[in-house]
Amino acid sequence: MALQPRNISDAGLRRLAAYHKVLQEMLLAGTPTVSATGIARVLALEPSQVRKDIEATGIAGKPKVGYPLAVLIRWIEDFLGWNNTKQAVLAGAGSLGSALLGYQKFRQLGMDIVAVFDNDPLKVGRTIHGKQVFFPDKLPSFALGAHIHLGVIATPASAAQATADLMVAGGIRALWNFAPAHLRVPDFVVVRNEDLYDSLASLTYKLEKRMAAERKAAAEVCAPVESAVVLLDACTW
Amino acid sequence: MALQPRNISDAGLRRLAAYHKVLQEMLLAGTPTVSATGIARVLALEPSQVRKDIEATGIAGKPKVGYPLAVLIRWIEDFLGWNNTKQAVLAGAGSLGSALLGYQKFRQLGMDIVAVFDNDPLKVGRTIHGKQVFFPDKLPSFALGAHIHLGVIATPASAAQATADLMVAGGIRALWNFAPAHLRVPDFVVVRNEDLYDSLASLTYKLEKRMAAERKAAAEVCAPVESAVVLLDACTW
DNA sequence: TAGATTGTTAATCGATTAACAATC
DNA sequence: TAGATTGTTAATCGATTAACAATC
């Protein structure tokens, strides 16, 4: 009977989305109920962590049984705001912007991109994935008029700040920023940065460290070897 | 004289990439040196956090002066592995995969996508952004032969696990996964998930919470009002 | 009932922030 | 010199993990 809304970390919110994916697969498989332990096993997480994340949604489970699958899915969706679809504007109709427009599933996850804005006169007036493209200077009045509070930035880095300013002027309260730029916005605006260059940083670092460790391990195996032939396969580097 | 390599969190690695962007702008502006305090000011971070992140790279600064700008940029690049370009394979030549192929800057950040793999017979044999497209069954032998250890997955979720398996079989040690799926891979493979659905979760949650708080605040202002006309503008909802 | 699982509190762990002596 | 900044250690904070009574 957990009914108190609890704090949840950003990482916890992302995990809830991951649980949602797993649960939908289970639903297709016909499973009636699921336990936190079961989810933890699939995703290789700690059961107590899964239990705590689920607890944040406020759903009540039954000891020994777990949670009714369909109900849990619904609670997670409600908690994350996915059943309350929010209209959104997109800035930047380049390759990434177009790709994002093609993500049909966003609508099921609470986001519906209704208009696109781009500086390129060749793109303005045309439609991409069924959405019309406008000049950016139309953005503020459009967003204000349609009461839109969610904006996606897929412009080059050089245009990102100006775009963010337009969006804030248009009443946007949450920004999903794909441009590799640091945005300065008022405190009442939520920003989620999806900077691929930042992400790549941790991956290249870890790969390099991993490869270095492997080379070192191989060296330790190979170095003190008397008859090198024996371990030749292990030391092809 | 910080020369000890220190542990750094995943968040710290991402921040280093952000510093790198800021520093390059400063370099263009002609600044000769920079202090951790200065970087912190620009990005609205704690000076001690920036100092600690920079310390992880092992560079030595001078009290009162800071760090020589060009040297610091180079140390960050070396630390993140960006000056040691790693070849990569890409799976999935859809809109997202094509967009990723168009990111010229990846090469400066240590990653060079050299081949693309896709199931679609219409795409195989053609080139996208100058890269040839092959059938996925060619992936393992190609990656092994070219000693490639980095793989990017931009397939639909349904193909992600099979693709990951092929990549692991091809000697890939680091996976950048854009498919909304949980990958099961051996321990010696690093996975970085770039799941947009997970990211959207935290944004929709925060936007909804923010809007709810605003509505509540407005209600508290409007509710106890005797002459409603006075505050009409503030309560248009 | 016995045993697995929930709900919740406590312990641990790690990252961030603060503090401060050394120093240019 | 005086003062800002580094390098580093200590304190704080928050998230994860462990523990366990309640319970179906």
A63 CA to C3 C1' in angstroms comes to 11
* β-strands B111-117, B86-91 pairing: parallel
Nearest to B86 among A13, A110, A207 (CB): A207
Burial, A46: exposed, middle or buried (Cβ in 10 Å; 0-12, 13-18, 19+)? exposed
Nucleotides of C under 7 A from a protein CB: 3-9, 14-19, 22-24
pLDDT category of residue A234 using cuts at 50, 70 and 90:
very low
Measured between beta carbons, the chain B residues lying within 8 angstroms of A157 are 21
B52 CA to D7 C1' in angstroms comes to 9
Reduced to 3 states (helix: H, G, I; strand: E, B; else coil), residue B67 is: strand
B119 contact to strand C (CB, 7 A limit): no
A44 is written with which tokens?
């290789």
Q: Say how far apart CA A100 and CA B128 lie, in whole Å.
A: 19
Q: How far is CA B161 from CA A17, B92, B158, in A?
A: 18, 13, 7
pLDDT at residue B10 in the model: 95
Dihedral sign of CA atoms A195, A196, A202, A205 in order: negative
Give the CATH fold of the B10-80 domain.
Arc Repressor Mutant, subunit A (1.10.10)
Q: Which nucleotide lies closest to A1 by the C1' atom and the CA atom?
A: C7
Q: What are phi and psi of B67, to 5 degrees?
A: -120, 145
Q: Say how far apart CA B112 and CA B10 lie, in whole Å.
A: 22
Alpha helices in B171-223 (DSSP H): 196-222
Nearest to A105 among B96, B197, B210 (CB): B197
pLDDT at residue A7 in the model: 81
Q: Which contacts of B163-170 are long-range, i.e. CB under 8 A and separated by 24 or more positions?
A: B163/B91, B163/B92, B163/B117, B163/B136, B166/B91, B166/B136, B166/B137, B166/B139, B166/B140, B167/B89, B167/B91, B167/B139, B167/B140, B167/B143, B169/B140, B170/B89, B170/B139, B170/B140, B170/B141, B170/B142, B170/B143, B170/B144
Reduced to 3 states (helix: H, G, I; strand: E, B; else coil), residue A88 is: strand
Mean of the pLDDT values across residues A177-198?
Answer: 95
Mean of the pLDDT values across residues B54-69?
Answer: 96
Residues with Cβ within 8 Å of residue B233, at least 6 apart in sequence: none
Percentage of chain B lying above the pLDDT 70 cut: 91
Q: Say how far apart CA A144 and CA A97 lie, in whole Å.
A: 22
pLDDT at residue A3 in the model: 40
Q: How far is CA A62 from CA A24, A25, A33, A51, A65, in A?
A: 20, 22, 10, 12, 5
- pLDDT surpasses 70 at B17: yes
B64 contact to strand C (CB, 7 A limit): yes
The CATH number assigned to the domain with range A86-194 reads 3.40.50.720
* DSSP string covering A146-157: HT--EEEE-S-H
Convert the pLDDT of each residue in B189-234 to its tens digit: 999 999 999 999 999 999 999 898 888 888 877 655 444 444 444 4
A157 is written with which tokens?
């880095």
Mean of the pLDDT values across residues B158-178?
Answer: 98
Average pLDDT value for chain B: 91
Mean of the pLDDT values across residues B82-103?
Answer: 96
Contact between residue A160 and residue A183 where contact means Cβ atoms under 8 Å apart = yes
Convert the pLDDT of each residue in A14-44 to its tens digit: 999 999 999 999 999 999 999 999 999 999 9
Q: Does A23 contact chain B (CB < 8 Å)?
A: no
B67 contact to strand D (CB, 7 A limit): yes
Q: Give the chain A residue nearest B20 (alpha carbons).
A: A198
B49 CA to C16 C1' in angstroms comes to 7
Residue A173 identity: R
Percentage of chain A lying above the pLDDT 70 cut: 91
A23 contact to strand C (CB, 7 A limit): no
Q: Does B103 contact chain A (CB < 8 Å)?
A: yes
Q: How many CB pairs under 8 A join A and B?
A: 168
- pLDDT surpasses 80 at B61: yes
pTM of the model: 0.91
Q: Does B41 contact chain A (CB < 8 Å)?
A: no
Q: How far is CA A179 from CA A163, B21, B95, B133, B186, in A?
A: 10, 12, 17, 27, 33
Nearest to A150 among B86, B195, B207 (CB): B207
A46 contact to strand D (CB, 7 A limit): yes
Mean of the pLDDT values across residues A43-68?
Answer: 96
Convert the pLDDT of each residue in B22-44 to its tens digit: 999 999 999 999 999 999 999 99
A86 CA to C9 C1' in angstroms comes to 38
Measured between beta carbons, the chain A residues lying within 8 angstroms of B21 are 157, 180-182, 197
Q: Say how far apart CA A220 and CA A212 lie, in whole Å.
A: 12
